[in-house]
Structure 1
């Protein structure tokens, strides 16, 4: 399906089926198996793979637009598939800059492999810059990883896990080691521990690595701990923050549509008019729309900057972390206004706006956090704190 666009691949009929299933997945705390099958069939898992490698050749800005669209129908499905898109996006960003370290990933994604993101750890606020997981070098150049990774989306279905660990035993250590592990590894255990307030269908379970092996040709970087200008770090940061922001922005867009429909449908006994004629309701809708329009434009524009290799210099990380925080916080504000327009029915289990309010809350738990983003932004503008 080369030549497809987010609008043609994720057509209205497909999204309608996803939206219908989303309520059931949420109610049953079930993984989005049927959605995944349809996305795979449509070629969505190959969207960011270059055409010459068997993919659709989308840009990162195309993927951002697509994820906004998908999240408007099925937020947890969009969040789950986001992690596969992050890795294929990282590989494409690196390839466009002359780095083919992850070309194997693009080829395997074209063949149907599903990649998950296994980096988050409980209590690790260093994220990419540190790890509680150990990475033990082996004589053949492979590494054995031991640790617990949390929020591993796609847990029931992933076939490849991109992960990190800390090598403290090599002479040049410590090093943060990036590698990819196969699902079939007997030293990988996925716990059935996902029972959350929202984003339930993502099934982002805990993954336990008990010496799981990443082969030598699947070790893609060994980096010093701490902030690092390596292109891999930039690519992960850019794809993760922008695609994540797209998911929550898509939730805001859907909430606004639902609020508009509710305002036109509901009426006031006091005035006899629909709520769409009430000044307070009109103000809420206007405020939500004002926020929503701005954030959509910002997301696509910054993703296009990545595609076009615009040089933001030392402010790239400030822009990316700030974009994620603005996107998730804006989505929360938009959904809050929309729930108020929707009224008390949104408080009942099964109401779509009520589910969006639960799903959108998850945005505060993804990196970068509000505090971390502000520290990054302050450093970009003021320089580091003097010791």
Structure 2
């Protein structure tokens, strides 16, 4: 069964939900071992998940941003690490194809690989010295032009999906110029190594190891994009991040409610779900989930229905969604743990994993401080043009 053969978003969500049930059972093992969930990705490849965001003009289904986020949230309820990992591939694949970032024949070649083999891609942009690329640091990774193409040297950190990626989009400073470019590097390229450095206590199953490039040779046409230092374009696909953390929060919410409706200490009649203080927390979780879903999906639908020009005015809105949903997700997991009590800190209890995982969202782009400053600047500017007195 391939998801592409189903007719509607709801049918695809239902089929995905069924297929990924084992993911939730395996999540504890991968977290405990810090190992990579190869089995999960095998399932996702079998159902053609990684190809869903390839645009129709390149032979794919070209699902909407709204549907991509719904699927990602569903996946994250089962396993947050798997969802966040493949979310990068899904979003970047969608963005590159829809925006024609690469030359069409280059993207088509990549898309064919995704459609036929389920090939996976991610950006490799973060470096030890520069931190998050959203802060504007220039890559220390270098690309030197030679007669036969380019020679790339450097190290990238937080390369999510490193154990299984087929393609790496590597940012590098071009030697002798101020220019920065993105280079497409295939996994089998000589000089490319994965150094297993990922030791985070959160999102342990993402395989976000270091990518090491030692005299890696790529062809001329693998220089796929020049990166401008000017204003960044709005990128709706990054909403896969809040969708993932909302999914994790919903998993915590479900666990807490199941616990509350089944736990009956001998000091009370019925279960603890009848207690006003527990009901208060359950209601607060539900309120936060509702707020997050409405914000996330209304903005996603606005993106889908907007022109390219209108989308470029949505940067602050996209950042606000990420900030709001991720912080609400942290609060939802906290409430769930308060309901479950001290047992939520047991290594066998999934709530402690959700707590660690959901906090990782605070460190995904865009950063909260940048979003708040941008919102403040726009608010001040708007008011200065429309003074109330």
Q: What's the TM-score once normalised by structure 1's chain length? A: 0.89
In the alignment, structure 1 residue 191 sits paired with structure 2 residue 195: yes
In structure 2, the residue matched to 1:206 is: 210
Residues in 2 aligned to 1:82 and 1:107: alpha-carbon distance in whole angstroms:
19
In the alignment, structure 1 residue 105 sits paired with structure 2 residue 110: yes
Q: Is the 8 A contact 2:303 2:311 kept in 1?
A: no
CA-to-partner distance for each residue in 1:43-62, whole Å, 9 max, x for gaps? 00101013453433311211
In the alignment, structure 1 residue 228 sits paired with structure 2 residue 203: no
Match of 1:180, SS? strand
| Aligned mate of 1:27, from 29, 32, 57 | 32
Residues in 1 aligned to 2:56 and 2:225: alpha-carbon distance in whole angstroms:
26
Match of 1:328, SS? helix
In the alignment, structure 1 residue 179 sits paired with structure 2 residue 177: no
1:65 Cα deviation from its structure 2 partner? 0.3
1:217 Cα deviation from its structure 2 partner? 2.0
* Counterpart mapping for 1:142-161 below 5 A: 142-161=149-168
| Aligned mate of 2:58, from 43, 53, 68 | 53
1:18 Cα deviation from its structure 2 partner? 1.0
In structure 2, the residue matched to 1:298 is: 295
Residues in 2 aligned to 1:88 and 1:374: alpha-carbon distance in whole angstroms:
29
| Aligned mate of 1:287, from 284, 290, 297 | 284
In structure 1, the residue matched to 2:347 is: 349
In the alignment, structure 1 residue 218 sits paired with structure 2 residue 198: no
Match of 2:347, SS? coil
Equivalenced residue count is: 373
1:254 Cα deviation from its structure 2 partner? 1.2
CA 1:6–1:27: 2 relative to 1, 3 Å: farther
Q: Is the 8 A contact 2:124 2:169 kept in 1?
A: yes
Residues in 2 aligned to 1:23 and 1:98: alpha-carbon distance in whole angstroms:
39
Q: What's the TM-score once normalised by structure 2's chain length? A: 0.88
Q: Is the 8 A contact 2:96 2:102 kept in 1?
A: no
| Aligned mate of 1:66, from 71, 78, 84 | 71
CA 1:87–1:142: 2 relative to 1, 3 Å: farther
In structure 1, the residue matched to 2:378 is: 380
| Aligned mate of 1:76, from 74, 77, 81 | 81
Which structure 1 residue ranges, 5 or more long, are not aligned?
A: none
CA 1:30–1:349: 2 relative to 1, 3 Å: same
| Aligned mate of 1:132, from 139, 144, 151 | 139
Residues in 1 aligned to 2:156 and 2:313: alpha-carbon distance in whole angstroms:
30
Larger mean Cα displacement after TM superposition, 50-59 or 21-30: 50-59
CA-to-partner distance for each residue in 1:316-357, whole Å, 9 max, x for gaps? 221122211112111101110011112222111121122111
CA-to-partner distance for each residue in 1:96-122, whole Å, 9 max, x for gaps? x99847444333322322112211223
Residues in 1 aligned to 2:298 and 2:152: alpha-carbon distance in whole angstroms:
38
In structure 1, the residue matched to 2:385 is: none
Larger mean Cα displacement after TM superposition, 50-59 or 152-161: 50-59
Residues in 2 aligned to 1:79 and 1:56: alpha-carbon distance in whole angstroms:
21
In the alignment, structure 1 residue 264 sits paired with structure 2 residue 264: no
Residues in 1 aligned to 2:5 and 2:91: alpha-carbon distance in whole angstroms:
21
Q: Is the 8 A contact 2:139 2:171 kept in 1?
A: no
